[in-house]
Structure formats: structure tokens, C-alpha cells
Amino acid sequence: MKKSYWVLILFILAKFILQYSLISPEYELQRDEYLHLDQANHLAWGYLSVPPVTSWISWLIKILGNSVFWVKFFPALLGALTMFVVWKAIEELKGGLFALVLASLGLLLSVLLRINILYQPNSIDIFLWTLFFYILIKYVNTEKVKWLYWGAIVFGFGILSKYNIVFLALGFIPAILMTRQRKIFTNPHVYWSVLIALMIISPNLFWQYNNGFPVIHHMKELSETQLVNVNRLDFFKSQLLFFIGVAFVILFGFYALLFYKPFEKFRFFFWGYVVTIGLFVFFKAKNYYAIGLYPIYIGFGSVYLDYLLKSGWKRFLRPVCLLHPVILFIPVYNVSFPNKSPEFIASHPEDYRKFGDLRWEDGKDHSLPQDFADMLGWKELAQKVDHEYSSLSKTGNTLVLCDNYGQAGAINYYSTKGIKAVSFNADYINWFDLSKKYKNLIRVKDRPEDELQKTGAFFEHSKIAGFVTNKYAREKGTVIFRFEGAKIDIRKRLQDEIIKVKNR
């Protein structure tokens, strides 16, 4: 084993240690994680929210015991694998130990720490973008057709992980056509590899077809509710901040792709970045959609700086380059992670406010960053629902119906009563069990509204059973209604609502 690999092992160990130490024990899982974990109980070739690969990992987590340790392990592993792939790319580009260490530091102390905290498709998406770019480098260097087929496999699984990787193809196909590497398209193996990629994604395409292409509805909903609020100037600002410690390395990478002779055959990577970012901006994509672009450019920049700072007085700039990501990470460490208790953050809001972290989607400042508040109150909710369910289920089948997927997923994850909560929100709309008649209903709602009057009329007894009281939780004020003794068969009303929501 190469001696340099011991350095890589140290970085990977540091990655895992950091990932597990960045979350204070007061915090629970984040709302999206509960949905992804619940998909393990409903395996399919597609979902309303994401393609299927996340559900496969969720199934593995379930087999391993479904503990928080394993929930956090896989995003950390994917982050470590991203570092490993960039390491291998730098070796392929003939970079030395300085380039390897600089890139690894830049990746370790970056936005990837925040991304890899959460069990979401973003971690595997970034890894697969990086792996695809590495395979592209290998093909350009060797022209061995096996790399075309490996690229097709990676791209296929990229589609099955997150549709975001389509932007990679849309950006890099014209970029390759703009350079001498366009000769790649004269190779018939390119088209056979495309066929393999299509075969890999075909089960999901059939699922989309059979379910009315919900991905189109999902994108339309995103564009109307979230993407419409994307500020293009803020998008560009955030691109600089994602890898702030090595932003200068990325810029040197761009320069090298244009003017450094050994990188001439990789010039399409520069144009690929320009076109892909242009597409993200045009479609008003969320800023983090572009994160998968950057790890490989950190690799290019590190190799060029390794060459640039090799001799003379420039050698003394090497330690400065290595210290730069460490120094810039310190203030980020203090505010960007849920490593302080909610009470501490609420009583020391200055730094968080300075970075804009206390501003929520509603445009107002709150006690905690929104992501952190989204990691509180779930256990409390599940315990209170369990308490009501244990008494109601003795008298007959009891349905737990929630307003949003976070509530349903959290109840299902933390429940000790085997509850299978559902919602008209996200994938839960497809997971209702209407084969049995329900006598009782536990209704979890964001706000009280007039639920007692509206739903109570269909039951013998109804009351408010409790609230989420954690003052720091985004779910604070969520209401638990208890309805006992149904006067009608509520399945008809449920079915009507399901049809209504699906037809919106």
C-alpha cells in the first residue's frame, strides 16, 4: 500500500469522527429523513418525492436495526467515498501529496459536512457526480471503452438516486462538442453505453408512466412554491461559500483548464461547468443542486497549485494554502451545525443572525435555524400519539392521520406500538390501508382550526388530546386530536380525499 494512503485513511477517519460529533444529542432526525426511512417499508421503483435508490439504503438501515447510528453512517460513508474518488482523480492527473492533502482538507472542511449530516439523496447525488467525472477523466486518459460502460452504469444509478444528475448530461454534452474531445461521439460504444443507462433507469420510467409521471407534478409544485423564490444573485453567492476554504483552488482549477498545457484535453470541463451552472441559473434551481460539480474542480486546482508552488520561494506558500481552509472553517463550525444546544443558540443569537441562519422560509427571524428546529419535537409527538393509540386501539382499528410527511414518518419511526401513520402529503398518500374499517381516528394537525367541529360530527366522542410543546421545535403547536367511535365508514371520505389530492 502506498504511504500516501495512510494520509487518506486519516482523512476518512476524521470525516467520520466529525460527522458524528457535529450533532448535539438534544437533536433528533430531520423531517425528510423520516420519510426516506419509511420508504424501506414500501419498496417500489419510484416515489412521488425521490427515485428508488434511497429506499434501498433505507431497507439496509432497517435490516441493520434502524438505529440513528446507521442513519448517520451512510451519508458519512458517501462523503468519505467522495473524498476517496477525488483522491484517485488527483493521482490520475499526476498530482503529488500536497495536491492530495489540499483537496482532502478542502472537501473535509466544507459544505459536505452539513450535507452529510442528513440522510437525504444529496449525499449520493454528489458522490455519483464526482464518480462520473473521475470516470470521464479515466476515459480521456486511456480511451479504454470499459470506462464508457462504467460511466453509463454510474449515470443510470445517478438517475435512480436523484434526477438532478440530468443537468450533468445537459451541461457536458454541449461542452464536449465545443472541444476536440467531440471525437468521443464517433465511438459506437458511446451509444451502446447510453442503451445500458436507459436499461438501468427503465424500471423507474415505467413506474413514472404507470403513475402519471409524478416527477413532472413535483417539479411544477417546486417551481410554484419554492423555486419561484430563488434569487439568482444569492445563488452565485452561495456557490462561493460552499467550499469557501478552497474557493481559490477552484478558481485556479478553472484557469488551469484553459491555459495549463497538461490539462488541454480536459478543457471541456471548464465549458461543462459554465453550461451546467448556466442551466441551473436559468431554471432557478436551488443553490445546493450544483454542489456535485465542485469536488472534481478542487482536484484540478490542487494539481495545478502543486505544480505552481513546487520550487523557489513559492514553496513557502504551500503551508498558507493548507491553513486557509482550516482557518475559514472555525467560524463556520461555530454556527453552521447543530452542535450547540437549542438553549445555547437561543441565548447567543448574534453570530447566527449575522450569517442569516435564523431567517426561515416565512421571512422572519426565529430562535433557531430552520433546519435545527426541524430536528426537534418529533419524539414528543410520537410518545403522545402512542399514549392515545394504546387506549383507542383496544376498542377497534385506529387510524393515525397527519398533516405532513414529517409527522407521519416521525411517529412511525419512534412509535413503540407499531403505528403506521399516514398523510395526504408526499408518498404517504399511496400508503393508506383501506382494506379494514376504522373505528377510531387520531388526527395530527399543524394548527387546531375547526377540526373538532368538522371531523367530530362523524364520531361519538372527540377531544384535543395534546400539543407539541417544545418551544424550539418547528412543529411547536402541532395538535393531536382524538376521535372515538366512528358513526360512518370513514374509508369513503378518505378515498375521496386521496382522489382529490392526486387530481390537483
Q: What is the pLDDT of residues 89-116, one digit of tens each?
A: 999 999 999 999 999 999 999 999 999 9
How confident is residue 229, by pLDDT bands cut at 50, 70 and 90? low
In a domain, 346, yes or no: no
What single letter denotes the amino acid at residue 33?
A: E
Contacts of residue 494, defined as CB under 8 A and 6 or more positions apart, other chains included, come to 432, 434
What is the average pLDDT value for the chain, to the nearest integer?
Answer: 93
Whether residue 328 is found in the same domain as residue 412: no
The burial class, CB within 10 Å (0-12 / 13-18 / 19+), for 203 is: middle
The burial class, CB within 10 Å (0-12 / 13-18 / 19+), for 449 is: exposed
Whether residue 400 is found in the same domain as residue 488: yes
Neighbours of 472 (CB within 10 A): 20
Q: What is the mean pLDDT of residues 379-405?
A: 94
In a domain, 166, yes or no: yes
pLDDT for 215 beyond 90: no
C-alpha cell at 400: 393515525
Contacts of residue 482, defined as CB under 8 A and 6 or more positions apart, other chains included, come to 388, 392, 440, 442, 461, 462, 463, 464, 465
Whether residue 293 is found in the same domain as residue 214: yes
Tell me how many domains the chain contains: 2
Note the pLDDT of residue 331. 87
Contacts of residue 406, defined as CB under 8 A and 6 or more positions apart, other chains included, come to 31, 32, 34, 35, 374, 378, 475
Share above pLDDT 90 across residues of the chain, in percent, rounded to a whole number: 82
pLDDT for 371 beyond 80: yes
Q: How many residues belong to the chain?
A: 504
Neighbours of 4 (CB within 10 A): 14
Q: What is the mean pLDDT of residues 183-208?
A: 96
Whether residue 442 is found in the same domain as residue 307: no
Whether residue 248 is found in the same domain as residue 325: yes
SS3 25: coil
Whether residue 331 is found in the same domain as residue 250: yes
Cα angle 92, 115, 38; round to 5:
115
Note the pLDDT of residue 28. 96
In a domain, 363, yes or no: no
pLDDT for 59 beyond 60: yes
How confident is residue 364, by pLDDT bands cut at 50, 70 and 90? confident
Spatial strand order in the sheet of 479-486: 422-423, 398-402, 440-445, 479-486, 459-467
How confident is residue 226, by pLDDT bands cut at 50, 70 and 90? low
Contacts of residue 409, defined as CB under 8 A and 6 or more positions apart, other chains included, come to 31, 33, 34, 35, 37, 38, 421
The kind and range of the H/E element at 24 are none
CA 207, 213, 217, 218 dihedral sign is positive
In a domain, 342, yes or no: no
Note the pLDDT of residue 221. 66
Note the pLDDT of residue 1. 65
Note the pLDDT of residue 157. 97
Whether residue 395 is found in the same domain as residue 316: no
Note the pLDDT of residue 47. 94
pLDDT for 227 beyond 60: no
CA 203/CA 223 separation, integer angstroms: 26
Q: Give how far Cα 28 sits from Cα of 11, 39, 125, 349, 410, Å.
A: 27, 19, 24, 21, 10
Domain encompassing residue 410: 378-502
Note the pLDDT of residue 179. 93
pLDDT for 174 beyond 90: yes
CA-based nearest residue to 326, from 145, 101, 85, 175: 101
Whether residue 167 is found in the same domain as residue 99: yes
How confident is residue 443, by pLDDT bands cut at 50, 70 and 90? very high
**In this structure, are residues 135 and 42 in contact, taking their beta carbons and an 8 Å threshold?**
no
Q: What is the mean pLDDT of residues 169-194?
A: 95
SS3 87: helix
Q: How many CA atoms lie within 13 A of 194 on its CB side?
A: 9
Note the pLDDT of residue 228. 53
In a domain, 350, yes or no: no
CA-based nearest residue to 336, from 18, 3, 10, 13: 18
The angle that helices 68-92 and 4-21 make with each other, rounded to 10 degrees, is: 150
Whether residue 300 is found in the same domain as residue 387: no
The kind and range of the H/E element at 283 are none
Whether residue 263 is found in the same domain as residue 133: yes
Whether residue 222 is found in the same domain as residue 311: yes
Note the pLDDT of residue 144. 96
Strand partners, 365: 359
Listed residues 335, 366, 389: the one ending a domain: 335
Share above pLDDT 70 across residues of the chain, in percent, rounded to a whole number: 97
Note the pLDDT of residue 34. 97
Listed residues 335, 367, 388: the one ending a domain: 335
Note the pLDDT of residue 408. 97
First to last CA, the chain: 58
Residue whose entry in the numeric block shows the C-alpha cell 482536484: 299
In a domain, 168, yes or no: yes
In a domain, 302, yes or no: yes
In a domain, 123, yes or no: yes
Whether residue 248 is found in the same domain as residue 196: yes
